[in-house]
Each structure stands twice: as C-alpha cells, then as structure tokens.
Amino acid sequence: MSIGVMVAAMGIQGFGHKKEALPAEPFTSAKNAVIRIFLEQLYTFPKFLISGKWYSALKVNRHTDS
C-alpha cells in the first residue's frame, strides 16, 4: 500500500510540475532523478511549506483562474 501511495504522490507532483511557468529540466540519468526527487521531497517542499510561499502561490493561482 505504501508504494502505491508513493507512486500516486509522485504522479500528482508530476501533474503539478507540468502546470508551472518554468518547468524543470528533464532528468539526465537515473542517479540524477533519484537525487533530484529526494532533494525536492526532503528540502525544497518542506521549505516551500514552512516559508508560507505555498499560500502566496495559491492566492495568485486563484486570481488567475477566475
């Protein structure tokens, strides 16, 4: 079950990344993919949450979707 949740979370994350104005560069290797995924999960995303930037992005997105 936990692997299914992890796969679903990565799929949702990929969907969200495709909507970004500046999408990430494609992975260059399997090692590059693993490093970037772990970096995002353990550093970038928590920093995004703690800083409150997620709320700013949500407000901006709500105004542009209207």
Structure tokens at 55: 């709320």
Domain residue limits at 34: 28-66
Total domain count, the chain = 1
Instruction: Give the pLDDT confidence of 7-62 residue by residue, as tens digits.
Output: 888 888 888 878 888 888 888 999 999 999 888 888 988 898 899 888 888 888 77
The confidence score (pLDDT) of residue 30 equals 95
Task: Work out the angle at residue 10's Cα, subtended by the Cα atoms of residues 41 and 26, and round it to the nearest 5 degrees.
Answer: 85
In a domain, 44, yes or no: yes
In a domain, 47, yes or no: yes
Residue whose pair of structure tokens reads 């090692």 in the numeric block: 31
Closest CA to 37 of 7, 63, 59, 1: 7
In a domain, 51, yes or no: yes
Residue whose pair of structure tokens reads 């692997």 in the numeric block: 3
Contacts of 40 (CB under 8 A, 6+ apart): 13
